[in-house]
Amino acid sequence: MFFLHITSNLYKSKLITLYICKDIKLRNYQLKISFTFIFLFFYSIPYAIATSPNEVFQEAENLTLNIQEIRRQQKITTEARKPGVQIAKTPIHAYTKALEVFEKVSRFNALKGWPVSKTPGLPNTKVLPSDVLQLITEIAGELQAINQKMGITFTKTAKLPIGKTPSDVYEILWFCSYLLDDLAGGISPTYVYRNTVRIEKSLLVIANKLNKSTDITEPLLEKGLKPIDANIEGFKVLYQLVDFEKKNKMPPVRVSGFPAGKITPADVYDTTNNIIAELTRINIKMSLPAVPNVDLSREKITPNEVVFQLKKVQLLLNNISL
């Protein structure tokens, strides 16, 4: 009887132990599920609240509405130029176009004798839609200060669209830039030339990183050139960058079609901005500094000097791509 009693107790003890073990395993499993759920929840938050091109477009449209209100107050009745349909743009392209808008707003302030904010530089990290939105918000703040000085009451009325892309954002920001031309002055060859100098300086840094020669035979300074000549040379640079990006296992830029109609310095400026956007992508991949800012030249600049600079850039790219 005593032996049977001990056996019975041992059996019960095993059952209790088994039950406790199963209970512990179940609780551990439940804890794992809980922690997994919490991790996935917090990990997904940034994606759930990530800025979309739709939101960026909405705020860019509010910029156009505000600038149009300022134009009305200044009794400007001329119709602003409209850009063509844009394709294959990314947030960094939209960011460079927003910088163009920012600078023109600053130029308007300077013409009025009002405080001028320094135009931000290019980032050295991957640009997201949220970065473009932040820059547009800064521009909106600049416009709001102008509104107050001019006695303008402006209320945002742009509705949130659907299906917008960085290309759409780029296009509407370019329209903003054109709207500002009658207020701050358009793009001259001097601004285009400044971009080409920035491009050259950035390529020198890339060449140094790759241990490539920067020795080139300077091209001849031609005479009598026009913006279309400069834009052709700029497009040649873009196609060189396509080859460079492919060699370095980067998604290559998709070069848009050559613009139709009369080519102006604004078109060439846009081309050089796209080159700068691609150099920004390359610099980020190679962990290099952002494309540097440079001052405007005080010399008289014509398309001749712009073409000269772009041909130097092509020669540098030839060396770097070897």
Backbone angles phi, psi at 262, to 5 degrees: -70, 130
- Rounded to 5 degrees, φ, ψ at 127 are -85, 130
Q: Tell me, what's the pLDDT at 122?
A: 92
Give the C-alpha separation, 261 to 267, whole Å.
11
**Torsion angle, CA of 80/84/86/87, rounded to 10 degrees?**
180
The residue assigned the tokens 């793009």 is 187
pLDDT of residue 217: 95
Q: What is the pTM of this model?
A: 0.83
Report the pLDDT averaged over residues 236-252. 95
In the predicted structure, residue 2 carries a pLDDT above the cut 70: no
Instruction: Give the burial class of 89: count Cβ atoms within 10 A of its Cβ; 0-12 exposed, 13-18 middle, 19 or more buried.
Output: buried
Instruction: Answer yes or no: is pLDDT of 40 > 80.
Output: no
Given pLDDT bands bounded at 50, 70 and 90, which one contains residue 256? confident
